[in-house]
Chains A and B, each alone.
Chain A
């Protein structure tokens, strides 16, 4: 390899290529480029994951493929992390971002959201031996909750379950393993993914208690603020994918169960 080629490679690695001011690609530009760039986070199985061949796969990539097919363009998956997924769309490195994008009014100040893709349901993950049946059961000094740092459940727990002891780990994988190893009694968080995630601990008798009292949130595609052409098209595409049963089918394939709360589909946006 010559020095200049090596320098090019380095520049590419360091992301010093295009640093032009970011302006989101419109629907027209995406069609012209023949490519839809979608950000997914492969550390959140089964939403997105590395499959047998260590390629990115999962619910979101498959849905993104269905969307790209409707648009008639090639799909390019871009790996994003939890903290940087919104900057990715703001900086126009992806056209739309997934990665468990819960719609919140806070986030909607920075990016635009489409209609919901799926619901997000919450509950208690624990083992068969534990007696917990509702959230209030966790509010006791003898309960150790294992949670993931920086998630929305934590302020809720600190406010509503102040007596429980908290252990904060770095990610969901570490949380699952810590629960499996008996380092705590339970975890309160999203429960959609657990059927898939906890498969890797066949020896443990898991128990998942839904807590509808906490409420339901919805997850959408995120697009750059003001990119309404793309957002409106995505809404129509999503309507078609919902009514054709495609979203639910892909969901059940990856999450191994029907969506706990159905997304109401309406032809109006």
Chain B
């Protein structure tokens, strides 16, 4: 069967897709911030919390790291209403992504806590640094250096993960791609363009995060 690719038929939709990309970025950013807070709290519990609480957090992290996000969101979206909790598409996807990211960010931030070296803090104390100075000059730069690269990677992974939202009727980049596909039947063309959008999105994010890491934390390694 001879089929000629006709990208011309889908170019009118590029702006509509860009709107979807913007939504995807927003979704990733909000999920990341919530997940980051969850991760910070859970990592602190793992390091300093009482034992039963630690077990609870451990169970949370292990469970969410070992089950698929898609099924987690299915559960949130379709099973919770049986107990009277009806989450909208956007809320269910956002909550699922945030809880899931929270598990990963707990692991990452715990490694950050672990990287603080007692000896360095003691040395700073001996030198007469105040508490704030110790945090500012000894602890933070250290943590930042350890945490910045994996946190950045996680953000970029989250950006790609947002595509799952399409399955729940959120009209982000992939959801809009499905819509255009249904209208034009130019399936390969429109999905390959969506792929290019994701490549561009994550490349720009990588470059921006690299610049931030380089400027603020003197990290030379690449991001994602």
Contact = CB atoms under 8 A, between A and B. Distances in A.
Interface of A: 90, 149-151, 154-155, 167-170, 174, 177, 181-183
A167 B88 CA distance: 11
Interface string B66-96: 0000000000001001000010110000000
B181 interface: yes
Contacts of B88: 183
Interface of B: 1, 78, 81, 86, 88-89, 167-169, 171, 175, 178-179, 181-183
A149 B179 contact: yes
A174 B73 CA distance: 13
Nearest to A167: B169
Nearest to A158: B183
A169 B86 contact: no
Nearest to A183: B86
- Most B C-beta atoms less than 10 A away, residue of A150, A168, A177, A183: A168
Interface centre among B1, B88, B175 (most CB of A within 10 A): B1
A149 B89 contact: no
Nearest to B1: A90
A168 B179 contact: yes
Contacts of B183: 155
Contacts of B171: 168
10 contacts: A149-B182, A154-B182, A167-B89, A168-B171, A168-B175, A169-B168, A174-B78, A181-B78, A182-B86, A183-B88
B80 to A, nearest CB: 9
A106 B72 CA distance: 39
A149 B178 contact: yes
B101 to A, nearest CB: 23
A207 B3 CA distance: 45
Given A154-B182, A170-B167, A177 B89 contact: no
Nearest to B86: A181
B178 A150 contact: yes
B196 to A, nearest CB: 22
Contacts of A177: 78
A170 B86 CA distance: 18
A129 to B, nearest CB: 16
A95 to B, nearest CB: 19
A152 to B, nearest CB: 9
Most chain A beta-carbon contacts within 10 A, residue among B89, B167, B175, B182? B182
Contacts of A154: 182
For the complex of A and B, list the 10 residue pairs with the smallest distance between their C-beta atoms, beginning with the closest: A150-B182, A181-B81, A167-B169, A169-B169, A170-B167, A168-B169, A149-B178, A177-B78, A181-B86, A149-B182
